[in-house]
Amino acid sequence: MNALVPLPVVLPLCVTGLKLAIGPRLHRFQRFISIAVLGAVLVLSVVLMVAADRHGPLSVHLGDFAPPVGITLVADRLAGLMLTVSSAVTLLVLVYSLGQGMADRDDQAPVGVFHPAYLILVAGVSCTFLAGDLVNLYVGFEIMLVASFVLLTIGGTATRIRAGSTYVIISLFSSVLFLVAIAMTYAVAGTVNFAQLAQRLQEVPLGVRTLLEAMLLTVFAIKAAVFPLAAWLPDSYPTAPAPVTAVFAGLLTKVGVYSMLRTQTLLFPGHRLGDLLMLAALASMAVGILGAVAQTDLKRVLSFTLISHIGYMVFGIALAGRGSIGGAIVYVAHHITVQTTLFLVAGLIERRDGTTELTRLGGLAKTAPLLAVLFFVPAMNLAGIPPLSGFIGKLGLMRAGVADGGGWAWALVAGSAATSLLTLYVMAKVWNLAFWRDAPPGAEEEGVVLESAEDDDTGGDTGDEEERPTGSGSGLPVPAGAVVSAGFLGQSITTTKHLPWPMLVATGAAVALGLSYTVLGGPLTTFTQAAATELLARTPYIEAVLGR
């Protein structure tokens, strides 16, 4: 069983090489093998999760080199659950992207771009979840960075290049800081292996240990978009195509949260920086949700709610108890799925009506009832309406805060409740503007160009910024705060009232996946509490890696 651990990383990389060798030929075959390999990764993830639950953490030393020399990959309950959820989500987003027609345009480029970059991204995510040392955690982050920059800037237009450049600069800064932290850790402990560090860091002077903890937390807080290190996110994600935005918003920030969970419980047990984390959690909740209240574009609304709800996960990590860690794990799994689903729905709205600007939408509950249902269910889940999984995760976190009884814990409980109410208000506002009210005059007609390289702000400038159209042929001004879509390899994409069935099926499956956490709430909570116990005990992980 241990031999299966590397496969979620290796399979996507091998298929990426095959797709690059094929080049821009055999499009149907390329789509088939992409779906097949992600399906295989999902099956492997489920197998590893079940095996880790039954037999304890699984570990493998690649090349049979023991720590600290070799590369160690470890699959415990936490890693198995994160792999399973991320694999399911990435598979659904891939199906959605096929319906949107992104991959169909790979024949316009010398080498197919989207599928290879997407598979590399999946490999990077899997590598971070399975990494058994700091160096390979860093490698996983860098694999994701390379792939995500390609995906964010796909099409090469200035809007996306500008947003992608901001993302890359911030990511490179955090990577440099990560490297410095790794070097300092190796200097004081003589290893970067997690299991060995869990033993040796306890002998390091407290001040040095706290410095290392602070540096790693800063790196992971940037990745997770924790306030005040989250300013890059709202301007970076909404400019990308809907499938890219969905997988980034739903998954990539949670890789940072996972890294915080792993290092705080395994390497830095205790509450040395607990109060600082609680302050960051409370600030993330407040600033994020207030930012969402002020937005009028759906993608930016969802981007700010993403920042806000990262605060719930940091809240659980900061308390560092069994109940809070278990609640945080539930909330990570829930939020990956629900946030991805909402961005997929935003993509459907944009494809149908040519915009996600709420002031120009309306009447969707009557004209597109299926779309209304696909939005309403995950929106209520995000707001934490009982008995949905968002409520389960928040209830676990708030109960842990009450049990802690500290001043910061009570402040976080109050902040969590207020953020939930404001999230419900934001979702109700979106529902009222986009779905419930009548459509405003001047709405887009079917066939309007939604994405085109001609809309880029480097060309076709008339000298009047406020009269620049949102799409070639739309003739409508850009509303304040609206995000103008850019093209995919210079190809025009037009609005349609008849949405492609793969997009609808993938979004519906994502909604069902989110609901399954409610149906399986009992087993999921039991599993996450067992995972929290395993994380806090540390011994099962250490013994699985070191063999003693």
pLDDT digits (tens, 9 = 90+) for 287-311: 999 999 998 889 999 999 999 999 9
Contacts of 314 (CB under 8 A, 6+ apart): 224, 226, 257, 260, 277, 280, 281, 284
- Contact by Cβ (8 Å): 365, 372: yes
At 152 the pLDDT is 79
Spell out the long-range contacts of 422-426 with Cβ–Cβ below 8 A and sequence spacing 24 or more: 422/289, 422/290, 422/292, 422/293, 423/289, 423/292, 423/305, 423/308, 423/309, 423/382, 423/383, 423/384, 424/383, 424/384, 424/385, 425/293, 426/289, 426/292, 426/293, 426/301, 426/305
At 37 the pLDDT is 93
C-alpha distances out from residue 524 to 270, 393, 509, 529, Å: 26, 10, 19, 9
Q: Is the pLDDT of residue 109 over 70?
A: no
Query: Looking at per-residue confidence, does 494 or 376 come out higher?
Result: 376
Can you tell me which residue has the tokens 């959605």? 96
At 357 the pLDDT is 85
Structure tokens at 34: 């992409």
At 446 the pLDDT is 54
- Alpha-carbon span 537 to 85, nearest angstrom: 24
- Alpha-carbon span 125 to 116, nearest angstrom: 14
How confident is the model over 60-66, as a mean pLDDT? 79
Taking only the tens place, the pLDDT of each residue in 160-177 is 677 677 788 888 889 999
- Alpha-carbon span 260 to 328, nearest angstrom: 11
Q: Is the pLDDT of residue 388 over 60?
A: yes
At 476 the pLDDT is 41
At 438 the pLDDT is 79
Where are any strands of DSSP class E within 181-315? none
At 61 the pLDDT is 86
Of 13, 100, 15, 64, which is closest to residue 491 (Cα–Cα)? 100
Query: Looking at per-residue confidence, does 100 or 436 come out higher?
Result: 436
Structure tokens at 365: 């509950």
> Worst-scoring range by mean pLDDT, 111-120, 393-402, 412-421?
111-120
Contacts of 402 (CB under 8 A, 6+ apart): 409, 410, 413
Q: Is the pLDDT of residue 470 over 70?
A: no
Contacts of 382 (CB under 8 A, 6+ apart): 305, 309, 335, 338, 339, 342, 390, 423, 427
Query: Looking at per-residue confidence, does 525 or 237 come out higher?
Result: 525
Q: Confidence class of residue 30 from pLDDT cuts 50, 70 and 90?
A: confident
- Contact by Cβ (8 Å): 422, 289: yes
Query: Looking at per-residue confidence, does 442 or 26 come out higher?
Result: 26
Q: Confidence class of residue 24 from pLDDT cuts 50, 70 and 90?
A: low
> Worst-scoring range by mean pLDDT, 51-65, 233-247, 340-354?
233-247
Q: Is the pLDDT of residue 255 over 50?
A: yes
Count how many residues are written for the chain. Answer: 548
Contacts of 503 (CB under 8 A, 6+ apart): 96, 99, 100, 344, 347, 348, 351
Contacts of 543 (CB under 8 A, 6+ apart): none
At 222 the pLDDT is 92
Residue 303's Cβ-side half-sphere holds a number of Cα atoms within 13 Å equal to: 24
At 44 the pLDDT is 94
- Contact by Cβ (8 Å): 326, 224: no
Check the CA dihedral 178-183-186-192 and report its sign.
Answer: positive
Q: Confidence class of residue 527 from pLDDT cuts 50, 70 and 90?
A: very high
At 373 the pLDDT is 93
Q: Is the pLDDT of residue 185 over 90?
A: yes
Helix (H, G, I), strand (E, B) or coil at 357: strand
At 101 the pLDDT is 66
Q: Is the pLDDT of residue 456 over 90?
A: no
Query: Looking at per-residue confidence, does 88 or 445 come out higher?
Result: 88
Q: Is the pLDDT of residue 455 over 60?
A: no
Computed over every residue of the chain, the mean pLDDT equals: 83
Q: Confidence class of residue 454 from pLDDT cuts 50, 70 and 90?
A: very low
At 342 the pLDDT is 94
Q: Is the pLDDT of residue 62 over 70?
A: yes
Q: pTM of this prediction?
A: 0.87
Contacts of 362 (CB under 8 A, 6+ apart): 433, 434, 435, 437, 438, 439, 440, 443
Structural domain boundaries of the chain? 2-441+494-546
Of 41, 43, 57, 5, which is closest to residue 545 (Cα–Cα)? 57
Residue 90's Cβ-side half-sphere holds a number of Cα atoms within 13 Å equal to: 32
Residue 64's Cβ-side half-sphere holds a number of Cα atoms within 13 Å equal to: 0
Q: Is the pLDDT of residue 183 over 90?
A: yes
Query: Looking at per-residue confidence, does 65 or 23 come out higher?
Result: 65
Q: Is the pLDDT of residue 345 over 90?
A: yes
Structure tokens at 9: 């990383």
How confident is the model over 447-471, as a mean pLDDT? 42
- Contact by Cβ (8 Å): 473, 448: yes
At 444 the pLDDT is 55
At 462 the pLDDT is 37
Taking only the tens place, the pLDDT of each residue in 390-402 is 899 999 999 999 9
- Contact by Cβ (8 Å): 96, 87: no
